[in-house]
Amino acid sequence: MPKMNMIQAINSALDVMLDRDDTVVIFGEDVGYFGGVFRCTAGLQKKYGKTRVFDTPIAEGGILGAAIGMGVYGLRPVPEIQFADYIYPAFDQLVSEAARLRYRSGGEFSAPITVRAPCGGGIFGGQTHSQSPEGIFTHVSGLKTVMPSNPYDAKGLLIAAIEDDDPVMFFEPKRIYNGPFDGHHDRPLQPWSKFPQSEVPDGYYRIDLGKAAVARPGNEVTVLAYGTMVHVSVAAVEEAEIDGEVIDLRSLLPIDLDAIVESVKKTGRCVIVHEATRTGGFGAELSALVQEHCFHHLEAPIERVTGWDTPYPHAFEWHYFPGPERVTRALKKVMEG
Amino acid sequence: MPKMNMIQAINSALDVMLDRDDTVVIFGEDVGYFGGVFRCTAGLQKKYGKTRVFDTPIAEGGILGAAIGMGVYGLRPVPEIQFADYIYPAFDQLVSEAARLRYRSGGEFSAPITVRAPCGGGIFGGQTHSQSPEGIFTHVSGLKTVMPSNPYDAKGLLIAAIEDDDPVMFFEPKRIYNGPFDGHHDRPLQPWSKFPQSEVPDGYYRIDLGKAAVARPGNEVTVLAYGTMVHVSVAAVEEAEIDGEVIDLRSLLPIDLDAIVESVKKTGRCVIVHEATRTGGFGAELSALVQEHCFHHLEAPIERVTGWDTPYPHAFEWHYFPGPERVTRALKKVMEG
Amino acid sequence: MARKKPTSSADRPAPGPLRLHVPEPAARPGDDPDFSHVRVPAAGVSQRPPIDASEPELRAYAEGLVRVLGDDHRAVGDWDPQLDADTLRRGLRHMLLTRIFDDRMLRVQRQGKTSFYIKSTGEEAVSVAQAYALREDDMLFPSYRQQGLLVARGHSLVDMMCQIYNNTRDRLKGRQLPIMYSVREKHFFSISGNLGTQFPQAVGWAMASAMKGDTRIAASWVGEGTTAEADFHYALTFASVYQAPVILNVVNNQYAISSFQGFAGGEHATFAQRASGYGLPGIRVDGNDFLAVHAVTQWAAERARANHGPTLIELFTYRAAAHSTSDDPSAYRPEDEFARWPLGDPIERLKQHLIAIGEWSEARHEQLVKDLDDQVRADLKEAESYGTLSTPPASPSSMFEDVFKDMPEHLVRQRREMGY
Amino acid sequence: MARKKPTSSADRPAPGPLRLHVPEPAARPGDDPDFSHVRVPAAGVSQRPPIDASEPELRAYAEGLVRVLGDDHRAVGDWDPQLDADTLRRGLRHMLLTRIFDDRMLRVQRQGKTSFYIKSTGEEAVSVAQAYALREDDMLFPSYRQQGLLVARGHSLVDMMCQIYNNTRDRLKGRQLPIMYSVREKHFFSISGNLGTQFPQAVGWAMASAMKGDTRIAASWVGEGTTAEADFHYALTFASVYQAPVILNVVNNQYAISSFQGFAGGEHATFAQRASGYGLPGIRVDGNDFLAVHAVTQWAAERARANHGPTLIELFTYRAAAHSTSDDPSAYRPEDEFARWPLGDPIERLKQHLIAIGEWSEARHEQLVKDLDDQVRADLKEAESYGTLSTPPASPSSMFEDVFKDMPEHLVRQRREMGY
Ligand SMILES: Cc1ncc(C[n+]2csc(CCOP(=O)(O)OP(=O)(O)O)c2C)c(N)n1
Ligand SMILES: Cc1ncc(C[n+]2csc(CCOP(=O)(O)OP(=O)(O)O)c2C)c(N)n1
Ligand SMILES: [Mg+2]
Ligand SMILES: [Mg+2]
C-alpha cells in the first residue's frame, strides 16, 4: 500500500475522480499550471488538460458563481479557495445560491460542487491565513461540511464529497498536511509516513459523509473533535492519563449524532475541542446537542476548548491555539466537575 | 409622550443622531429621496441634505466598503441593508474588515459603523425576505449584534449603537415594525400605540448595549428570546399558564450573561427561542452558556424552539415560524423533563 | 530643463474645498417628465458588423442605440432581421399575452389571492424578441422581470399561475415567492431573489458547454441597478478570460425601485460601455423595438456560437409599472413619465409596424386582445381550481424535502418534531 | 421586404462545437522570455491633457503608455514633470533604500528571524514617485507591495522592522503578519491580508473628505490580479457615481502569484481601460519610469483636488522577485524574464537619467548604495535589540485587547481562563 501525506491523498482523490468521471473539473487561483500553493493539484493539469484543471481570476465569488453554473450544466466542479479565510467574497453564492438551489427550484436544479479550502492555524499565517470558518457554514441549511483529520480519511471523504449531489464544504486543516500535529509546537513534527493512516490505496474508495470515527476508545470522558484537534485531543488524553474516548467527527453536517450520544451516555462527561473562535462556533451546537440528548447521563458540565474570541494573533499563535495543555486542563475539570 | 411604532422610533433615533452629531451619515439602497422601502429614513434627506442622507448603488459590499472608509475618515456611518437576506455580498467587508480593523491596526484605525437591516419572517416574504442571520455574525469576533423587540428599545439601542466606537449589526425584526406580533397570525395585529413600549421620548436617550431586560418576570422556567420571539414567548407563557420568566436579550454580543444565569439559577429550567434555523444558531451558544454556568441548577434539558433547518418556505410560513404553540410545547416539556 | 516647476504638489496653491456629487434625476414627482438627456438616433443608421469583429471595432455600438423601426413604423437599415409576418404576429401575440397576464396577476394580488407580483409592462420586447433570437435549448438565466421568456417559449400560463398561487400544482412546492419561476424543461433557470447571482452562473454554464464541445449557449439578464453588484463584474471577468459563449443582458429600464439609473453609474457612461473595459463588445439597443432587439440578440448568439465570445447587450427601455406590488412609484417619479418616454411602447410599435406593412389591422388587434384576455381568464380559472395561497401544495412536511437530495437525520428529527 | 431570412436562428445550419479558451502566457519555464506582445511607444509622444478633460477625450490614454524617460535617458515631452535634481536624487535614494531594505529583510526571513516577507523589487518607482506626487496628508490605502510609500514619506525603518519582527516595539502588538503595516501618523492605512478590500474603503474615505469640504484626497493600490475581485468593481462604481476625489491604482506587475495577467482579463483589454466602462479616465503609464509615474499621478491628484473626479492609473511594471517568501517563481515562469523586461529597472533608469543630465555619477551612486546599506544594517541592529519573532511584544494577554474598544465580559472571562 502506498504511503501518502494528506496533500498526496487529496491529490490522489482528485486524480481518481478526474479519471473516473469526465464531468469532474477542478479550478481555482494557482491550481492549474502551478498545481496550487499547497500543491494539492500538482500534475493534474498536465494529465487531464486545461479544460479539466485550470487557473482562474482572483475572484472567489466568481469562482463559486461559475461553479454553480457548471453544476447546473451537469458537471461536478471541485473549486479550490486558496485559504478558507478568503471564502467570504464567495459567501453570497454559497449561502444564497449553492445551498438554496435544490430547495427553491423544487428539485429541478442543483449544484453538486465540492469546495476545497485549507483552514486552521499553527503555521504562523497570521489572521488571514489561519481561520476556521466551518461554524459559519454549519448554520446554513443546504450545505454539508466536512473536515478530515488524516490522509486515509481525506481521500475517502473527498471522493464521497465529489460524488455527493449536494454542495459540500471540504475544509483541509493545513497544519496536518504533512503530519499529525498534536499541538506540541516545540517538538519536531512526525511525518504521516510513520502512521497507519498514511496507508492510502491508490484507487477508488469512499468514506460516507456523516459517519464519525473513534480516534481513541475510552470510558471516562468523551472528547468531540475534528481536524487537527483530533490529534491534539488524543495527545491530551494520553498525557492526562485519563481514559478518554476521542471521537473524530469527520463530517459536521450531517453529524453522526448516534456516535456522539452513545459515547457520552457511556462516559457521562464531554469535552468539545475546536480551533475556531468559541462564541457561536460549532462547539456550541455540539454542546447543545449533547445536553439535549444526554442530559440525564451528564455528570459534569460540558467543557469547550476553543480558539479565543479574537482574530488569530500572529505572535501569540501558540497562546491562541487550543493545545494539549488546555485540553488536559478541561479534561481534569470535567473529571472533577 | 409621543406614541411611536418601531419605524417611527428608528426614524427618530436617526433624526436625533443626525442632529446631534454632524459626523453621522446615512445611506443605502432607496434610503435617500424615497426614505427606505420600510420608510425608516423618511424625511431625513429633506431635513439634512443629500450629503448626509443619500441613495447608493445596489452593491452591499460597496456600501460597507465605503462605510468603513468613511468611518476611518472620522464619520459615523449608518448604512442600511435593505433586507438582512442581502447582507451576504457585504460579508467580506464586515468580517475581514470592519470586525478586524481595530485589532489588526493595534488600535490605530476603527470603523464605528452601525449596519441597520430588517430581518425575520412572518410577512410572506419568501426565502429571501425572511432570514435571521444574526447567528452568523455573533461568531465573528469584533462585531456587536443587537436586536430590539419594541419601539422604546429600538430607539435607545440604535442611539447607543451609533455612538458605539465599534461596528454594530443592528437587526430590526420587520414583523414587529407596526405592532408586537405574538405569533397568532390568524388574529388581527395590535398596533404599538396600544402598548406602553410605544411611548418614546422625542429627544436623546440611550440603552446600553449588553443589558438584557425582563419582558415578563416568572419563577418556573426561563425563556431566552429576542426580537419578535419575545412577544411570542410572552404569549406562550401566558397561554401555557406556566410562571415563565421571559428574558429579552436585546444585545446578543455582548451578551448579558449575568441576567441569564441569575434567572436560570432561580428557575432551574430554560427554553431558548429564535426564528433562525436551529443548527449553529445563536440558540446553540445560549444553550452552551447556560449549561456551562448553571449545570448544577438545571432540572431538565434546555429546549430550543427555532426555525427549522430549511430555507423559509413561502407557503408554509406558519409551519416554519416558531409560534406560541411550539413554544408552549417546549415549556411543558421542560416542566416535565 | 531651464524652467523648474515646483517639485511637489504640496507647494502648489491650495485648491478650494472638495464637494460630493450626489446624482439627481431630471424630474421628480410634481415636475414635468424630462427625457431631454436621452439621445435617440434615427432608425437604420447603425450598421450590422460581422460577427467576428473585434471589440475595438465595435466600440461605437456601446454608445449608440441600434434601432430598426422608424418613426414611419417601417423597418430600415442593415440590422433589420427581416422576420416574416407570421413571426412578427407571433411576437406581437406573445408580448400582448405577457402584458395581459401581468395585468391579470396584479389584479389577483390586489384581491389577496397571492402575496406578491412583479410586472414587466413596457419591457415585453426584451424577453419575447430575445427568446425568438435564441434556440429553444439555449439556457436562460433570467431576473424576475423576464416572464416574457417563458411566454415566448410557449410555457403553460396555468403552470406559472400555480407557482404564483403556491397551490396544489405549484411545481416549486410552495417554497418560492410568486414569480420566482423555475422551468427546467424550458431551459429556464430558477430565479433568485438575490440580485445578480445568475450572471456568473450563466457564464459558468456557458463555460461548461464550451468545455464539453456542446453547441448550446447561455443568456442572462440583470437590471441596470444590479450592474453595481459584484456578480456583474465576476460575470464579465470570467466571460472575458474564458471567452465563454454567453449573452449578458442589462435591461436598463431607468429605475431600480426608487433609484434612477444615475445611482448605478448611468450619468457617466452607458451600461453597454462597461463591456469595453473587459475587451468585450457592448451593444446598446432600443429595447422597445422588437426588430432591433431580435437582430442584436441574434448577432450576439451567432457570435457566441461561432466561438467569437460573449457580448453584453444593454436594452434601453422604461419600467412602465411599479417595481413590484410592494412599490408606489408616485412617491419618486412623475406620474406620466411613460407616456413621454421617447422610445414608446414596444407593443404599440410592433403593432403599427405590422399595420404599416399591411399585415395587421386595428380590428384584428382588438380581436387578439380579446382572445388573449379570454385565454388568460380561462387559465386563471383552471389555476384557481388547484387552489390559491390559502390552499397550500401538499403537506407542510414537504418543507423538509429538497434541502438535500437525501434527507439527513437531523431533518428527519425536525420533521418528526413538527408532527410528521 | 422581398427576401425573407429564416425566422429563427434555430433554422440556421448548426455551427461547430464550442471551445473553451484558457489563457496561456507567452513563455513558461524552459522557454525563452517573450515580451513581443508588449507594445512600447517612444517616450514623449503622449500629450498631457487638461485636468478637466472628459473621459471620452481621455480614452486613448487607457490604451497608450505614458513615458517620459527616453532611450537616451533624457526626459522628453509634455508629461515631463520637470522635477529638480534634488528631488530626483531623493527619489533615487528612496527607491534604492526600498530595494536594500527588501533585500535585507528577505535575508532575515531566510535566517528564520521572521515568518514571512514580500519584496517590491522592480516596482519601486510606483510607490516612491506616487508618494512624491501626493501631499503628505493625503490618505493612502495600499496593498502589501507599496512599502516604498512609507519609505518615501520618511517613516522609520526601525519601526517597520519591529512590525516585521513582531518584537517588543511592534506597534501592531504582534497581531499582524510581517509587512502588514499600519502607520496612522503617515496617513498610511492598515494593510489587509484580504485582497482588494482597501479599494472601496479609499473611495469611502474620499467621499467623506468631499462631504466635509476637506481638501485631502485618497489613493489606493491593488495588483492587476486583484482587479477581478468585487471590491475593484465597487470602488469604480462608487467613485464614478459620487465622483469621489480618489486615485485608484492598478499595479500591473504581470503576475498574481503564479498566474500571468491574462487570468485577470489582460489578454483582451488593458486594466486602465476598465475605467472607461464607468465613464472614468484610465491612464496607463510606464511604471518603471519615475518621471512618468510622478507626472501621471500629479495630474490625477490635481484633477481630484479640483473636483473633476477620480482617475484609474495602470502602472505597467514587472514583479522581479518571487511573490513572497512562500513562493518559487521558477516553477511557473522563465528564470531570466526580468532581464528581458522591455521597460527595464526603475532605479537604473533614474540613475542613468541623473547621470545624463550631469547630476549624478557612478561613484556617487556606489557611495549611496553603501551608505544606505549601512543605514539598513544599523537600523536592523537597533530593531533586533528589541527582539525578533521569538521575543513577542508585551504579554500574551494583550491579545484580548482591541477586539473592541472596551473589553466585553466574555473576553475578560477568556483572558482569565488563559491565566491572566
Ligand atoms: C442582493 C440584493 N440586494 C437588494 C435587493 C432588493 N431589490 C430587489 S429589486 C431591486 C432593484 C433592482 O433594480 P434593477 O436591477 O434595475 O432591476 P429592475 O427591478 O429595474 O428590473 C432591489 C434593490 C435584492 N433583491 N438583492
Ligand atoms: C481575497 C483573497 N483571495 C486570495 C488571496 C491570496 N493571494 C494573496 S496575493 C495573491 C495574488 C495577488 O496578485 P496581484 O493582485 O496581481 O498583486 P501582486 O502580488 O502581483 O502585487 C493571492 C491570490 C488573498 N490574499 N485574498
Ligand atoms: Mg432597472
Ligand atoms: Mg500582480
Helical H runs in C316-408?
337-340, 346-356, 362-385
**Ligand 2 atom index nearest CA of D223:** 15
Residue B205 lies in a domain: no
With residues binned 3-state (H G I as helix, E B as strand, rest as coil), the percentages for chain C, rounded to 5, are 40, 10, 50
> What's the total number of domains in chain C?
2
Same domain? For D376 and D405 the reply is no
Nearest 5°: phi and psi at A261? -65, -40
Question: pLDDT tens digits, residue range C181-240?
Answer: 999 999 999 999 999 999 999 999 999 999 999 999 999 999 999 999 999 999 999 999
Q: What is the dihedral of CA D379, D382, D383, D385, to 10 degrees?
A: 160
Domain boundary among A169, A198, A227: A198
Interface residue D189 vs chain B (CB under 8 A) = yes
The mean pLDDT value of chain B amounts to: 98
Same domain? For A193 and A169 the reply is yes
Residue B204 lies in a domain: no
Same domain? For D186 and D129 the reply is yes
Query: Is residue A314 annotated as a catalytic residue, yes or no?
Result: no
Same domain? For A178 and A245 the reply is no
Residue A283 lies in a domain: yes
Sheet with C218-223: list strands edge to edge. C139-141, C218-223, C246-252, C311-316, C282-286
Residue that the C-alpha cell 485636468 belongs to: D51
Question: pLDDT tens digits, residue range D191-214?
Answer: 999 999 999 999 999 999 999 999
Residue A53's CATH number: 3.40.50.970
DSSP C294-321: HHHHHHHHHHHHTT---EEEEEE----S
Is A99's pLDDT higher than 60?
yes
User: Which of A83, A96, A144 to probe the B interface (max B CBs under 10 A)?
Assistant: A96
Residue B313's CATH number: 3.40.50.920
Is B155's pLDDT higher than 80?
yes
Question: pLDDT tens digits, residue range D375-417?
Answer: 999 999 999 999 988 787 878 999 999 999 999 999 999 999 9
- Which mutation among D257, D274, D317 tests ligand 2's pocket best, with the greatest number of atoms within 8 A of CB? D257
State the cell numbers at C396. 407542510
ipTM over 0.90: yes
State the cell numbers at A128. 488571514
According to the model, what pLDDT value does residue C14 have?
Answer: 63
User: Which of B26, B48, B68, B100 to probe the D interface (max D CBs under 10 A)?
Assistant: B100
Does C133 sit within 8 Å of D9, measured CB to CB?
Answer: yes
Residue C63 and residue C271: Cα distance in Å, rounded? 9
Asked whether the beta carbons of D30 and D253 are under 8 A apart, the reply is no
Residue C69's CATH number: 3.40.50.970
According to the model, what pLDDT value does residue D11 have?
Answer: 46
Least confident range of B290-304, C320-334, C382-396, D199-213:
C382-396
Same domain? For A173 and A260 the reply is no
Residue A236 lies in a domain: yes
Question: pLDDT tens digits, residue range C32-68?
Answer: 999 999 999 999 999 999 999 999 999 999 999 999 9
The mean pLDDT value of chain D amounts to: 95
Residue A145 and residue A166: Cα distance in Å, rounded? 11
State the cell numbers at A98. 449553492
Determine the 3-state secondary structure of D283 from DSSP. strand
State the cell numbers at D217. 484626497
Residue B163 lies in a domain: yes
Query: Ligand 2 pocket by C-beta < 6 Å: which residues?
Result: A 29, 58, 82, 86, 89; D 145, 193-195, 222-226, 251, 253, 255-257, 319, 323
pLDDT tier at C11 (50, 70, 90 boundaries)? very low
Average pLDDT over residues D91-111: 98
Residue A30 and residue A27: Cα distance in Å, rounded? 8
Residue type, D171: R
Question: pLDDT tens digits, residue range B234-265?
Answer: 999 999 999 999 999 999 999 999 999 999 99
Residue A261 and residue B184: Cα distance in Å, rounded? 36
Same domain? For D139 and D212 the reply is yes
According to the model, what pLDDT value does residue D13 have?
Answer: 57
Residue B70 and residue D244: Cα distance in Å, rounded? 12
Is B117's pLDDT higher than 90?
yes
Does B30 sit within 8 Å of C258, measured CB to CB?
Answer: yes
Q: What is the dihedral of CA C119, C124, C126, C127, to 10 degrees?
A: 80
> What's the total number of domains in chain A?
2
Domain holding B307, by residue range, is 213-336
Q: Which ligand minimizes its atom distance to the CA of C221?
A: 1
Residue D96 and residue D103: Cα distance in Å, rounded? 10
- D 201-240 → A contacts, CB under 8 A: 225-226, 228-230
**Ligand 2 atom index nearest CA of D196:** 1
- Which mutation among C226, C231, C233, C317 tests ligand 1's pocket best, with the greatest number of atoms within 8 A of CB? C226
Same domain? For B59 and B152 the reply is yes
Domain boundary among A146, A163, A198: A198
Residue C362 lies in a domain: yes
Interface residue C398 vs chain A (CB under 8 A) = no
According to the model, what pLDDT value does residue B125 have?
Answer: 95
**C204, C205, C408: residue with CB nearest A254:** C408
- What's the full length of chain C, in residues? 420
Average pLDDT over residues D237-241: 98
Bridge partners (DSSP) of residue C223 are: C251
| Per-residue CA distances from B142 to A276, B295, D2, D218, D304 (Å) | 14, 29, 71, 26, 34
According to the model, what pLDDT value does residue C265 have?
Answer: 97
DSSP C229-285: SHHHHHHHHHHHHHT-SEEEEEEE-SEETTEEGGGGTTTTS-TTHHHHTTT--EEEE
Same domain? For A174 and A302 the reply is no
Same domain? For D270 and D123 the reply is yes
Residue B154 lies in a domain: yes
Residue C308 lies in a domain: yes
Residues of C in contact with B51 (CB under 8 A): 20, 22
Residue D400 lies in a domain: yes
Bridge partners (DSSP) of residue D313 are: D249, D283
Domain holding C370, by residue range, is 56-325+337-389
Residue D50 and residue D54: Cα distance in Å, rounded? 9
State the cell numbers at D253. 506587475
- C 217-256 → D contacts, CB under 8 A: 217, 227-228, 230, 232-234, 237, 240-245
Nearest CA to C167 out of C402, C396, C384 is that of: C384
> Ligand 1 within 6 A of C329 CB?
no
**Ligand 2 atom index nearest CA of D319:** 20
Question: pLDDT tens digits, residue range A267-315?
Answer: 999 999 999 999 999 999 999 999 999 999 999 999 999 999 999 999 9
Residue A208 lies in a domain: no
**D9, D23, D134: residue with CB nearest C9:** D134
Measure B301 CA to ligand 3 centroid, in angstroms.
52
Residue A203 lies in a domain: no
pTM above 0.90, yes or no: yes
Residue D80 lies in a domain: yes
**CA nearest D207 in C: which residue?**
C20
Residue D125 and residue D287: Cα distance in Å, rounded? 7
Same domain? For D382 and D266 the reply is yes
Residue D187 and residue D140: Cα distance in Å, rounded? 6
Measure D194 CA to ligand 2 centroid, in angstroms.
8
> Ligand 1 within 6 A of C419 CB?
no
Same domain? For B246 and B179 the reply is no
Same domain? For B36 and B168 the reply is yes
Same domain? For D383 and D404 the reply is no
Average pLDDT over residues A159-183: 98
DSSP D110-159: HTTSSS-----TT-HHHHHHHHHHS-TTSEEE--TT-HHHHHHTT--HHH
Asked whether the beta carbons of C40 and C247 are under 8 A apart, the reply is no
According to the model, what pLDDT value does residue C3 have?
Answer: 37
Same domain? For C243 and C294 the reply is yes
Same domain? For C280 and C244 the reply is yes
Shortest CA gap C73–chain D (Å): 14
**A61, A279, A310: residue with CB nearest B139:** A279
Query: Residue B313 belongs to what H/E stretch?
Result: none
Dihedral (CA of C63, C67, C72, C78) sign? positive
Residue C46 lies in a domain: no
Same domain? For D152 and D240 the reply is yes
Same domain? For A220 and A171 the reply is no
The mean pLDDT value of chain C amounts to: 95
Dihedral (CA of C195, C196, C198, C200) sign? negative
CA angle (A148, A150, A156) in 5-degree steps: 65
Does B61 sit within 8 Å of D403, measured CB to CB?
Answer: no
- What's the full length of chain B, in residues? 337
Determine the 3-state secondary structure of C17 from DSSP. coil
Give the distance, in angstroms, between the CA of residue C77 and the centroid of all CA atoms in the same chain: 25
Q: Which ligand minimizes its atom distance to the CA of D221?
A: 2
Between C6 and D70, where is the model more confident? D70
Measure D238 CA to ligand 4 centroid, in angstroms.
24
Same domain? For C312 and C401 the reply is no
CB atoms within 10 A of CB C149: 26
Same domain? For A168 and A21 the reply is yes
Question: pLDDT tens digits, residue range C121-166?
Answer: 999 999 999 999 999 999 999 999 999 999 999 999 999 999 999 9
Domain boundary among A171, A198, A225: A198
Average pLDDT over residues D135-144: 98
Looking at chain A, the number of H-run helices and the number of E-run strands are: 12, 12
> Ligand 1 within 6 A of C224 CB?
yes
Residue D97 lies in a domain: yes
Helical H runs in chain B?
6-20, 44-48, 60-73, 91-92, 101-104, 134-137, 151-163, 228-240, 257-267, 282-294, 317-320, 324-336
**C20, C389, C399: residue with CB nearest B313:** C399
Residue type, C72: D
Residue D341 lies in a domain: yes
Long-range contacts of D254-257 (CB under 8 A, 24+ apart): D254/D224, D254/D317, D254/D318, D254/D319, D255/D225, D255/D319, D255/D323, D255/D329, D255/D333, D256/A29, D256/A58, D256/D223, D256/D224, D256/D225, D256/D226, D257/A29, D257/A30, D257/A34, D257/A37, D257/D225, D257/D323, D257/D327
In chain D, the percentage of residues whose pLDDT exceeds 70 is 97
Residues of B in contact with C334 (CB under 8 A): none
Same domain? For B220 and B182 the reply is no
According to the model, what pLDDT value does residue B182 have?
Answer: 97
Same domain? For C194 and C213 the reply is yes
Same domain? For B31 and B116 the reply is yes
Shortest CA gap D325–chain C (Å): 28
Same domain? For C174 and C301 the reply is yes
Residue D164 lies in a domain: yes
According to the model, what pLDDT value does residue D390 have?
Answer: 75
Same domain? For A121 and A11 the reply is yes
Non-local CB neighbours of D32 within 8 Å, separated by 6+ positions: D334
Residue that the C-alpha cell 544599523 belongs to: D378
